[in-house]
Structure 1
Amino acid sequence: MANFYSVLLTVVTLCAGLIWLFDALVLKPKRRQRINDEEQRLQQTLDQEARERIAPQGNIAEFAQSVFPILFVILILRSFVYEPFRIPSASMMPTLKEGDFILVQKYAFSLRDPIWRHELLEIDRPERGEIAVFKYPPEPHLDFIKRVVGLPGDRIIYRNKTLYIEPACEQNANDCAPLKVIEQTNAESDAFYFNGATPLKAYNENLGATEHAILVDPTVGGRERFYFQQPGTARDEWIVPEGSYFVMGDNRDNSEDSRYWGFVPEQNLVGSAQFIWMSFEMERPASSILPSWVPSGIRWERLGGVE
């Protein structure tokens, strides 16, 4: 089932629409008849003010009539076109930072109903390197955002903080691509990133047609013992099942992703991250009297498309 806000918006919109429909089909004809009877009795045409005084529309029906078109448009846009999301953690740094507000293209992969998320129309599938929002498989009411690393049928290895990919290949094919190391080159940037007091190393990485930056914590050792263990593979190796995807965060040592809980089924996909429309600076000194959730500034330079 979709998250609470999607369900709430759908239910409220449906209720407003039903109230408006009941008023239009049942109550409005009765009000009109009452006005007609009064006009015949007085042998004159009443003005609008008199009509509303004789047969007023109920407050609830009037409110439903006012808000239903607005709610309906919001529901359609949010369910099938674009939905805003807030980045809640540092797992996708440096591409996305905590405090970024992004627009997610809901129709990038498929159209789904806003409550049960049944697929209504298949449009496309994620490409390697694309940033996707999806329902967190262990807890589907939560939305996660990660980068798509492995496609159905791919062999993925993450060993010594290096990513290896062997693309899917049809059985008995002769031109299958071999296992390839995803090279990392030092990223030239004026920005510095930290995990607490530990400085992180930034690298550039190419996944498919996408070049992006990743962060690595040099103080963090191997975590293979915590990895999701797929039967028949090594501890740091996975074969992506059909209809599923392997995702990772760009902040490699600070991301809870497919390495730890497994694959993302197609039906969990929500959409593709497209644009940062607002970015709030959340850092402030410990001496500040303001609560931590109050922004301390706007990062105008971060507004724009997402790679």
Structure 2
Amino acid sequence: MKDKKELSKQHRLMREIIETVILTILMFVIINLAVQNYDVDGPSMEPSLHNKERIMVDKVSYHLHDPARGDVVVFVAPPDPALNYVKRIIAVPGDVITIQGTTVKINNTALQETYVDPSYQGNPYQPIVNKVVPKDEYFVMGDDRKNSSDSRLWGFVPRQNIIGRAALVYWPLNDNNSGFLPDVSSVFAHVPTNATRTDNLSGNVHLVSSTSGEGGVIFFAIPGVFLVCSRCKKKR
């Protein structure tokens, strides 16, 4: 009788170990599909992102909705597909953008860009006047306007180039901008939708390098879900 009980305990223990291993592998795969970590290399997103910081990029959200004005995104660089850049989306498909000096207008509305520090303000490029953003393309700029190679120089970013949204700065700790990137949607809240936006629209570098993808933003709750399910199963 004791042997049967011991054997039953051993079977339960082995089953729990196997289940734990499978769940751990599943969680790791899901998290790595959902997010990826990147190292910031360069100054062009100062002061929002600093050189050598580590950021977590959400690769799932844009499967559910389109990129929005104000989002900080990581994308395959149009000037060099071997590199990844990180910039802020300023204009979306259908928008009409004008940049004269340091004044940026979207659909004839001047932006009050709170994320651009006056000490980083500037524009070394030619003016852009009433340029329409084509379908499935985005106009991006670095927050350090004096030291950013961006859409002012090399044009739009195709939708398929966008890897995901930079969501979280997690290293180094205790820096002045650690944690989730601020929501700046209020900057664009008064920008009207351009009447030309239809489905028939035609149309120093800040780099990021990929590192191992461990951790998550959207899937932080996954371990808790598995634990709850596991407890429910035991109660049954």
Interval containing the TM-score (normalised by the shorter chain)? 0.5 to 0.7
Equivalent residue number for residue 125 of structure 2: 223
Report the Cα distance in structure 2 between the residues aligned to 1:125 and 1:95, rounded to whole angstroms.
22
Q: 1:242 aligns with which of 128, 135, 143?
A: 135
Task: Give the direction of change, closer, same or farther, for the CA distance of 1:240–1:100 in structure 2 (3 Å limit).
Answer: same
Q: Partner letter of residue 97 of structure 1?
A: H
The Cα RMSD (Å) is: 2.7
Query: Which of structures 1 and 2 has the larger relative contact order (alpha carbons within 8 angstroms, sep 6+)?
Result: 2
Spell out, residue by residue over 1:189-246, the C-alpha distance to the aligned partner (whole angstroms, 9 max, x if none): xxxxxxxxxxxxxxxx2xxxxxx4213558966521xxxxxxxxx7554210001000
Matched residues, percent identical?
31
Quote the residue 2:109 is aligned against: 180
Contact 2:57 2:165 in 1 (8 A): yes
1:284-303 alignment to 2 at 5 Å? 299-303=174-178
Matches for 1:1-307 after TM superposition, within 5 Å: 74-78=28-32, 80-110=33-63, 123-166=64-107, 179-183=108-112, 205=113, 212-216=114-118, 222-224=124-126, 235-279=128-172, 299-307=174-182
Find the aligned partners of 1:131 and 1:215 in 2 and give their Cα distance: 16
Query: How far apart are residue 300 of structure 1 and its match?
Result: 3.9
For residue 274 of structure 1, what is the amino acid of its counterpart? Answer: A
Distance in 2, matches of 1:252 and 1:216, equals 10
Could you say if the C-alpha distance between residues 102 and 237 of structure 1 is closer, same or farther in structure 2, counting changes exceeding 3 Å?
same
Instruction: Tell me the distance in 2 between the aligned counterparts of 1:93 and 1:256.
Output: 13
- Shift of the 136–221 alpha-carbon distance from structure 1 to 2, 3 Å rule, reads closer
Structure 1 residue 138 displacement after superposition? 2.3
Q: Shift of the alpha carbon at 1:142?
A: 1.4
Contact kept? 1:132, 1:273, Cα under 8 Å: yes
CA displacement, residues 88-135 of structure 1 (integer Å, 9 cap, x when unaligned): 11101111111211110010212xxxxxxxxxxxx2111111111111
Distance in 2 (CA, whole Å) between partners of 1:235 and 1:163 is 9
- The answer to whether the 8 Å contact 1:216/1:252 transfers is no
Amino acid at match of 1:244: E
Q: Which runs of 5+ in 1 are unaligned?
A: 1-67, 111-122, 167-178, 184-204, 206-211, 225-233, 280-297
What amino acid does structure 1 have at the position aligned with 2:83? L
**Structure 2, unaligned runs of 5 or more:** 1-21, 183-236
Provide TM-score, normalisation by structure 2.
0.61
The number of equivalent residue pairs is: 162
Question: Is the radius of gyration larger for structure 1 or structure 2?
Answer: 1
Counterpart of 1:272, as a letter, is: R
Give the superposition deviation at 1:302: 3.0
- One-letter code of the match for 2:160? Q
Distance 2:161 2:93 in 1: 14
State the AA in 1 paired with 2:60: Y
Match of residue 213 from structure 2: none
TM-score by length of 1: 0.48
Q: CA deviation at 1:71?
A: 7.7
Contact 1:248 1:255 in 2 (8 A): yes
Letter of the structure 2 residue corresponding to residue 158 of structure 1: I
